Amino acid sequence: MTLVLGIESSCDETSIALVDGDGRILSSVVASQFDAHRRFGGVVPEIAARAHLTNLPVLLDEALALAAVRLEDVTLVAATAGPGLVGALLVGLSEGKGLAMGLSVPFVPVHHIEAHALSAFLSLEGPARPIPERFAALVVSGGHTHVFLFEAGRIELLARTRDDAAGEAYDKVAKMAGLGYPGGPLVDRLAARGRIEEPFAVARFKDGSPDFSFSGLKTAVRERLEAQGLRSTAGQETLPEEAAPEALRNTFAAFQEAVVAQLEDRLTLLWNREAFRVLSVSGGVAANGLLRERLPRWGGRYGVEVLLPARALTSDNAAMIAFAGLVRRREGRSDEGLAAVARSRWPLVR
């Protein structure tokens, strides 16, 4: 029986998962480091690496116990090799290689963004869905807002953000208002309780490029917050979520609408060009309430099946790493195995 052990340590989440040969998640445990980084308002690389080192052995025992399997039953080990923080990546990558060597099983280095893109095919209840020959993948996270076209083993980049990633924009507007980190879930909840009084324009490039841009929107939000006297300059958490005034909730509602409307706008441009029939949407921002409501509806209009991972699988997790390792191995794509190095940058296109 195929049993894949997946390890994720590219940023501020340590995770270990066990996935079987059908892509069924037997266990997936995640240790978030939010509290360790919170007071710094962002991820501190050294703290992240050290926390991974402490968390991994604990998570490994937990994941094996939850899946009711033994380490010796593992037939394949997969770990994130990049992109991400090199120190953090090294911890999981070395652990993965060591385990694979000790168990005498193959090791597969995984591309974190490819794993996100494939996470939409996973299910919390049963086996993974079959992966079509051709599909588009929108990856929206704190570091990426990219659309790729997966076709017969090849991956093409169709669009990317030219400045901030969508999740980064969420985190920054939250910080501007003095809210906590990460800002995405906070802004999502507050926006849901606001209403749009004055919309923000949807950014578009003059040349009709399907690329994304969120920095203009971020500036527009900053200016509006300043005009409303809601801008926090303290640079730290000063506003509890419950105390967010109505005007702030309304501004966030308009911000969130502009983000989702831009995603829809670009997907339409790309669909006109590439006529894809399946779209996977993944990454931390794929947990967003408005996005989850609107993108499937967008798909309905264009005859595109929009696949969203369960919320638990949108943020960084090792289940998607194990699954991507399994898919990679099945496709028989050559990779470096134990020779893989940690890469802070690693283009997905091939």
Residue 129 makes CB contacts below 8 A (sequence gap 6+) with: 121, 123, 307
Collapse the DSSP code of 335 into the 3-class scheme (helix H, G, I; strand E, B; otherwise coil) and give the result.
coil
What whole-number distance in Å separates Cα of residue 278 and Cα of residue 111? 21
Cβ distance to Zn ion smaller for residue 195 or 311 = 311
**Segment lying near Zn ion (by CB under 5 A), choices 134-142, 145-153, 171-179, 260-268:** 134-142
Per CB under 5 A, the list member of 141, 213, 250, 251 interacting with Zn ion is 141
Cβ distance to ligand KG4 smaller for residue 27 or 315 = 315
Residue 287 binds to ligand KG4 (criterion: CB under 6 A)? yes
| Size of site (CB under 6 A) for ligand KG4 | 20
Per CB under 6 A, the list member of 180, 283, 299, 325 interacting with ligand KG4 is 283
Q: What is the CA radius of gyration of the chain?
A: 20
Amino acid at the residue 37 = H
**Segment lying near ligand KG4 (by CB under 6 A), choices 152-160, 167-175, 230-238, 262-270:** 167-175
Residue 161 binds to ligand KG4 (criterion: CB under 6 A)? no
Collapse the DSSP code of 20 into the 3-class scheme (helix H, G, I; strand E, B; otherwise coil) and give the result.
strand
Q: Give whole-number Cα distances, 128 to 40, 131, 323, 324, 327, in Å.
A: 38, 9, 9, 11, 11
Residue 15 binds to Zn ion (criterion: CB under 5 A)? no
Residue 141 binds to ligand KG4 (criterion: CB under 6 A)? yes
Residue 316 binds to Zn ion (criterion: CB under 5 A)? yes
Cβ distance to ligand KG4 smaller for residue 186 or 340 = 186
Query: Which residues between 289 and 318 bind ligand KG4 (CB under 6 A)?
Result: 315-316
Long-range contacts of 309-315 (CB under 8 A, 24+ apart): 309/119, 309/120, 309/122, 309/282, 310/122, 310/123, 310/124, 311/287, 312/28, 312/124, 313/119, 313/122, 313/124, 314/119, 314/282, 314/283, 314/284, 314/285, 314/286, 314/287, 315/13, 315/30, 315/284, 315/287
Residue 332 token pair:
């028989």
Residue 11 binds to ligand KG4 (criterion: CB under 6 A)? yes
Residue nearest to Zn ion (CB): 316
Collapse the DSSP code of 1 into the 3-class scheme (helix H, G, I; strand E, B; otherwise coil) and give the result.
coil
Cβ distance to ligand KG4 smaller for residue 23 or 142 = 142
Per CB under 6 A, the list member of 82, 92, 167, 299 interacting with ligand KG4 is 167
> Pick from Zn ion, ligand KG4, none: which does 214 bind, CB < 5 to 8 A by kind?
none
Cβ distance to Zn ion smaller for residue 74 or 324 = 324
Residue 184 binds to ligand KG4 (criterion: CB under 6 A)? yes
Residue 92 binds to ligand KG4 (criterion: CB under 6 A)? no
DSSP string, 49-82: HHHHHHHHHHHHHHHHHHHT--GGG--EEEEEEE
Cβ distance to Zn ion smaller for residue 110 or 259 = 110
Q: How far is the CB of 140 from ligand KG4 (least distance, A)?
A: 8
What whole-number distance in Å separates Cα of residue 161 and Cα of residue 108? 29
The binding site for ligand KG4 (CB under 6 A) comprises 11, 141-143, 167-168, 170-171, 182-185, 188, 283-285, 287-288, 315-316
